[in-house]
Chain A
């Protein structure tokens, strides 16, 4: 079985500060990992994905994430937060042996202070 843990259900940063959203996973097979963002009253938008190529993955809106197998982590970072980054962020792991089902973490709500 797979699982995802996102430490911190709420993270608050100042505009221009580093964003770090934490994700740890458990998987019995080499994982495919994803970050999705959900803006208020919208669906889930793919930010970036790791599918066993480069361990440092760049996504949209200046976000990136690094896959660290030894730490079973896939933390999301952005060097400088913008007000428009305020949203809920979900980490997910894919089980390609089970119909590609995604298992999501509980989400982290990012707040950006002016």
Chain B
């Protein structure tokens, strides 16, 4: 069964460094999303992306964050200058045109900012 994949599974970085989290959505899906879950807190929406542009973004998704679909398969989340409070599990999700509302999630990338 097709699934969303994410790399790396874990990333440790120093405060102020840039990180890029990578996702490969399900192949026929056209809607892409990033969410994060800070330890012990709710899963929070960051951004949705369709047709090479951001559809919606939350207040969390400030100028430090950016997303890109650099080729036909990858979808990336970049954090330009990481802060301690960016430490979280980051989930990528995707959905297909016929059922946009139904999102399938990847296994997540656990980011630790020191």
Contacts and interface: CB of A to CB of B under 8 A. Distances in A.
For chain A, give the interface size range: 20 to 34
B104 interface: yes
B101 A51 contact: yes
Interface in A3-59: 32, 34, 36, 42-46, 49, 51
Given A43-B91, A43-B107, A100 B101 contact: yes
B25 interface: no
B74 interface: no
A42 B58 CA distance: 24
A106 B50 CA distance: 27
B101 A99 contact: no
Contacts of B45: 101-103
Interface string A70-114: 000000000000000000001010101011111111110000000
Given A101-B48, A105-B42, A44 B105 contact: yes
A17 B101 CA distance: 32
B18 interface: no
A92 to B, nearest CB: 8
B105 A36 contact: yes
A106 B48 contact: no
A101 B55 CA distance: 10
B43 A90 contact: yes
B35 interface: yes
B95 interface: yes
B100 interface: yes
A98 B42 contact: no
Interface of A: 32, 34, 36, 42-46, 49, 51, 90, 92, 94, 96, 98-107
Interface of B: 4, 31, 33, 35, 42-45, 48, 50, 55-56, 58, 91, 93, 95, 100-108
